[in-house]
């Protein structure tokens, strides 16, 4: 379950990078903010980068929180099951 979410967040990150490259234009193969002379394009690229980073961080935090919650549930289940086996 966690591997599927990790793969989904990786796919999402790659889509953000691909979108950022499309915003830069077809001339460059990598992200280079200095290649664009248009201030609006630079602003758009910066906003896309910040949004991508925020969404990636949010996905990581959601997966981390879900994992912590799963561990807490497992520990509670084990704690309640141990006295029954004695």
What is the length of the chain?
Answer: 86
pLDDT tens digits along 30-86 = 555 455 467 778 888 899 999 999 999 999 999 988 888 888 888 888 888 776 555
Place of tokens 């910066």: 46
Mean pLDDT of 11-37: 62
Tokens coding 69: 């919650």
13 confidence band (pLDDT: 50, 70, 90): confident
- Rounded to an integer, what distance in angstroms lies between the CA atom of residue 26 and that of residue 9? 25
Question: Do the beta carbons of residue 52 and residue 27 sit within 8 Å?
Answer: no
Tell me the domain boundaries of the chain: 2-85
In this structure, the number of other CB atoms found within 10 A of the CB of residue 45 comes to 21
């Amino acid at each position: 379950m966690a591997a599927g979410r990790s793969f989904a967040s990786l796919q999402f990150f790659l889509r953000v990078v691909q979108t950022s490259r499309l915003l830069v234009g077809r001339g460059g193969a990598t992200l280079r903010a200095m290649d664009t002379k248009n201030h609006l394009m630079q602003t758009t690229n910066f906003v896309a980068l910040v949004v991508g980073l925020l969404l990636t961080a949010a996905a990581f935090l959601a997966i981390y929180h879900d994992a912590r919650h799963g561990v807490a549930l497992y520990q509670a289940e084990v704690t309640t099951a141990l006295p029954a086996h004695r």
